């Protein structure tokens, strides 16, 4: 009997509620049981608690999939302060199963989904590997060969996942409880609300196919980056067929020499961050499972279900705020936010609090010096940005970014989290000046990209 995606709100909400309660109880019980024990006993208990918590998150969130599983994928790239520092890597590795090795749905059930969209497999494919090569929050990916000989990736929705996501969206309060049990400093559910709302767009495979085709055309012939094209004639409501990328996974990139990781880090930054300010659109799902190093040496980016555009006026507001913070023009930042209703001018929020908040959340773009990113650095920025109500920013209680800014902030923060996993070093401010001030590039990679763009 294959794994089934629970669809109902009560079934899914009940699982999430039990998970939140059990996480809290486990934390209290483990702390109490450590009293009076030797250091060795504490270590054993901590390891046991870590593994139990990680396994439970993988099982429950992986079984739910949809927006619930997206939460687990997000947590897998953060150095969340759940555990003693020496055990966090173990926990994060287990959560990474949600990204790379989620519970698999047997192929006989997935075959039905494919054939409902495309008809008999033999009509479209000359060969189809029935073992999934990847599993994501709403579907599994298979490798196949079209009848014309092209190697393709076939992303197929889990049966019933549309209904499951709808149930998740009605369970936002439960998501907030689960989030707080894992990351207590998250004082509200704004970011979770944004995730649950936007994951609905991931269900629209025809839209994703169109977006991916457009982005693939934009990067066609790029010297360092490649985007596999969608094959729209074989894309339907539940099946997405794209060119196949045969490359090394993100986890294998961690073992590369420092200089190569730094080079790849610059490309990741340019792919996810730059388009917000240069094209007013962006890929909203930067995480390690969507990044591969191709056999030709180019970095490949996949998954365009969360691809969004922004109103240029909103982008320019964000650019102006970052410029003001970079130049320590706190009064301009404060006045700009107050005029747009982002902060209440009568709330007591000070100019310095505005500056401190922007620097805490986005300072890696603003500091003009070499910075080596790591998971601890990335997590600190994410927590401060998600929870401006922490003690350091007590006066920021009235901050309310417009919804699309919350989404673009997520792109920024989770790009930072991915780069932290690679321990990349760069002067990120020198890269940021290209989109912050429209200055010419100063890196070898940037200049090569500029020459390529000019030649098109």
pLDDT digits (tens, 9 = 90+) for 72-109: 555 555 545 444 566 566 656 655 555 555 557 889 99
For residue 125, give the 3-state DSSP assignment.
Answer: strand
Q: Among the CATH numbers 3.30.70.260, 3.40.50.720, 1.10.510.10, 3.40.47.10, which is that of 107-157+204-308?
A: 1.10.510.10
Q: How many CB atoms lie within 10 A of CB 134?
A: 20
For residue 105, give the 3-state DSSP assignment.
Answer: coil
Task: Please give the residue that has the higher pLDDT: either 43 or 213.
Answer: 213
Q: What is the mean pLDDT of residues 313-329?
A: 91
Q: Are 443 and 430 in contact (CB under 8 A)?
A: yes
Active-site residue identified among 285, 356, 387, 412? 285
Q: What residues does each domain of the chain span? A: 9-97+165-198, 107-157+204-308, 310-423
pLDDT digits (tens, 9 = 90+) for 394-421: 555 445 555 556 556 778 878 988 898 8
pLDDT of residue 425: 95
Q: What is the mean pLDDT of residues 355-369?
A: 84
pTM for the model stands at 0.75
Q: How far, in Å, CA of 448 to CA of 431, rounded? A: 14
> 400: which 2 tokens?
């309310």
Q: What is the mean pLDDT of residues 244-269?
A: 95
Assess whether 346 carries a catalytic annotation: no
Q: Are 74 and 285 in contact (CB under 8 A)?
A: no
Task: Please give the residue that has the higher pLDDT: either 16 or 106.
Answer: 106
Range in 123-132, 179-188, 378-387 with the lowest mean pLDDT: 179-188
- According to DSSP, the β-strands at 299-301 and 225-226 are parallel
Give how far Cα 278 sits from Cα of 196, 290, 361, Å: 27, 22, 21
Give how far Cα 437 sits from Cα of 151, 170, 274, 289, 326, Å: 42, 42, 12, 31, 11
């Amino acid at each position: 009997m294959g794994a089934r995606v629970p669809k109902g709100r009560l079934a899914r909400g009940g699982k999430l509620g039990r998970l939140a309660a059990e996480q809290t109880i486990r934390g209290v019980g483990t702390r109490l049981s450590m009293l009076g024990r030797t250091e060795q006993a504490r270590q054993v208990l901590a390891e046991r608690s870590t593994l139990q918590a990680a396994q439970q998150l993988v099982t429950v969130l992986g079984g739910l999939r949809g927006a619930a599983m997206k939460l687990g994928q997000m947590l897998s790239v953060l150095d969340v302060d759940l555990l003693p520092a020496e055990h966090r890597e173990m926990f994060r590795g287990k959560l990474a199963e949600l990204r790379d090795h989620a519970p698999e749905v047997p192929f006989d059930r997935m075959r039905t989904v494919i054939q409902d969209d495309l008809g008999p497999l033999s009509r479209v494919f000359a060969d189809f590997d029935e073992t999934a090569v990847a599993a994501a929050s709403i579907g599994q990916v298979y490798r196949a060969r079209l009848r014309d000989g092209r190697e393709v990736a076939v992303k197929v929705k889990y049966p019933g996942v549309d209904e499951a996501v709808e149930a998740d969206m009605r369970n936002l309060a439960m998501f907030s409880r689960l989030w707080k049990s894992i990351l207590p400093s998250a004082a509200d559910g704004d970011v979770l609300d944004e995730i649950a709302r936007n994951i609905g767009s991931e269900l629209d495979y025809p839209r994703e196919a169109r977006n991916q085709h457009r982005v693939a055309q934009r990067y066609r012939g790029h010297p360092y980056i490649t985007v596999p094209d969608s094959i729209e004639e074989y894309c339907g409501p539940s099946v997405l067929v794209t060119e196949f990328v045969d490359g090394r996974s993100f986890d294998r990139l961690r073992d590369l020499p420092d200089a190569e990781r730094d080079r790849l880090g610059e490309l990741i930054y340019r792919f996810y961050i730059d388009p917000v300010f240069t094209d007013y659109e962006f890929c909203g799902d930067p995480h390690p499972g969507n990044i591969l190093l191709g056999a030709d040496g180019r970095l490949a980016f996949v998954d365009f279900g969360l691809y969004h555009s922004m109103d240029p006026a909103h982008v320019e507001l964000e650019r102006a705020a970052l410029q003001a913070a970079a130049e320590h023009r706190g009064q301009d930042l404060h006045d700009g936010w107050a005029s747009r209703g982002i902060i209440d001018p009568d709330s007591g929020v000070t100019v310095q609090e505005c500056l401190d908040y922007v620097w805490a959340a986005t300072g890696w773009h603003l500091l003009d010096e070499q910075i080596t990113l790591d998971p601890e650095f990335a997590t600190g920025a994410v927590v401060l940005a998600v929870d401006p109500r922490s003690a350091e920013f007590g006066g920021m209680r009235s901050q309310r970014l417009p919804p699309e800014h919350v989404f673009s902030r997520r792109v920024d923060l989770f790009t930072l989290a991915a780069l932290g996993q690679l321990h990349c070093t760069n002067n990120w401010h020198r890269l940021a000046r290209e989109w912050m001030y429209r200055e010419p590039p100063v890196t070898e990679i940037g200049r090569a990209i500029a020459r390529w763009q000019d030649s098109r």
